[in-house]
């Protein structure tokens, strides 16, 4: 088995869980790590929000030992707030701090952060420099191919990140304007790998052992990162780990196994966030696990009405009785 190093952090060269706002919370990350994710990254937290003592922002930074090695991801576009935000973030003991320079959603990119940083290389460099100067752990950056097809500048941005002291760069092979549509461009990831000397993490359209292997083979990347392919499917990390360890692939999880892991993840979500908020967020998480099974549409509709943990138990009981 091969390993890579991001700064002084050793990571198994299998597959990592990508940061996903509103999805990759502590419960989701713990499930992924339990089944073999090599590395996890928190949901993104606002640099400015941390400085202004945003309680919700701080909640996003909590990491448990079960998730490690794990990074805290920050976003923002004002270097003057970075030092204080890093001080707060490091109180949660991350192994790595990651700068989000790839988020395409309007409320982030529209305010100059996320993927908008790729349109301003000078400001991007200032953000990375400020993070590296303030942090006592390695700093990484997550970027996209570029802003749009006419402005593909991932190589330039990755080079700046390296020059400013970043220890690795993760590249999602889509532009900002693509959002999550179309296909991820593996060639741009390969081009970044040829450009910089720091580790390059490849991200986009990995949802199977085969697509993970293809990402490594076609890009030469140092680590693969999985996002939507892991929705309701933490077993994907197990299958990838088995492949690279030379073990025989295990059978797909049974209905009973899927429902058990779903229940455990949502129970942890409720424990972390309380029943009211936890069950609201559990609606989408539960629906991910039910995709592809018999009567899935009906069950997913019921997921949208989950309000109490007892509702989840009743849904599981119904699914088991109708699929016995």
How far is residue 111's CA from residue 114's CA, in Å, rounded to a whole number?
Answer: 9
Q: Are 180 and 151 in contact (CB under 8 A)?
A: no
How far is residue 174's CA from residue 159's CA, in Å, rounded to a whole number?
Answer: 18
End-to-end distance of the chain based on CA atoms, in angstroms?
40
The set of residues, in sequence order, having a beta carbon less than 8 Å from that of 248 and lying 6+ positions away, is 242
The set of residues, in sequence order, having a beta carbon less than 8 Å from that of 19 and lying 6+ positions away, is 41, 42, 43, 44, 71, 73, 98, 100, 142
Residues that are catalytic: 103
How far is residue 128's CA from residue 160's CA, in Å, rounded to a whole number?
Answer: 9
How far is residue 32's CA from residue 316's CA, in Å, rounded to a whole number?
Answer: 21
């Amino acid at each position: 088995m091969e390993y890579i190093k991001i700064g002084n952090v050793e990571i198994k060269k299998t597959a990592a869980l990508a940061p996903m706002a509103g999805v990759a919370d502590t419960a989701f990350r713990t499930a992924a790590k339990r089944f073999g994710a090599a590395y996890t990254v928190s949901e993104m937290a606002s640099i400015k929000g941390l400085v202004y003592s945003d309680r919700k922002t701080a909640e996003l930074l909590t990491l448990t030992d079960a998730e490690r090695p794990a990074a805290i991801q920050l976003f923002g576009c004002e270097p003057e707030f970075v030092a204080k935000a890093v001080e707060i973030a490091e109180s949660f003991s991350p192994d790595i701090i990651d700068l989000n320079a790839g988020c395409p959603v309007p409320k982030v990119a529209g305010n100059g952060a996320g993927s908008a940083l790729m349109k301003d290389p000078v400001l991007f460099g200032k953000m990375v420099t400020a993070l590296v100067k303030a942090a006592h752990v390695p700093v990484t950056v997550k970027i996209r191919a570029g802003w749009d097809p006419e402005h593909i500048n991932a190589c330039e941005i990755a080079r700046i990140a390296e020059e400013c002291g970043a220890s690795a760069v993760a590249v999602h092979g889509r532009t900002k304007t693509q959002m999550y549509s179309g296909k991820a461009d593996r060639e741009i990831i390969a081009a970044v790998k040829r450009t910089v000397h720091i580790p390059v993490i490849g991200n986009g359209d990995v949802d199977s052992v085969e697509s993970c292997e293809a990402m490594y083979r076609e890009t030469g990347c140092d680590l693969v990162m999985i996002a939507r392919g892991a929705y309701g499917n933490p077993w994907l990390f197990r299958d990838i780990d088995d492949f690279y360890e030379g073990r025989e692939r295990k059978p797909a999880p049974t209905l009973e196994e899927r429902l058990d892991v779903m229940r455990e993840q949502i129970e942890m979500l409720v424990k972390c966030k309380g029943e009211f908020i936890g069950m609201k967020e559990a609606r989408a998480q539960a629906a991910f696990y039910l995709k592809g099974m018999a009567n899935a549409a009906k069950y997913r509709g019921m997921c949208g009405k989950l309000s109490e943990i007892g509702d989840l138990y009743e849904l599981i009981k119904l699914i088991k009785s109708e699929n016995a």
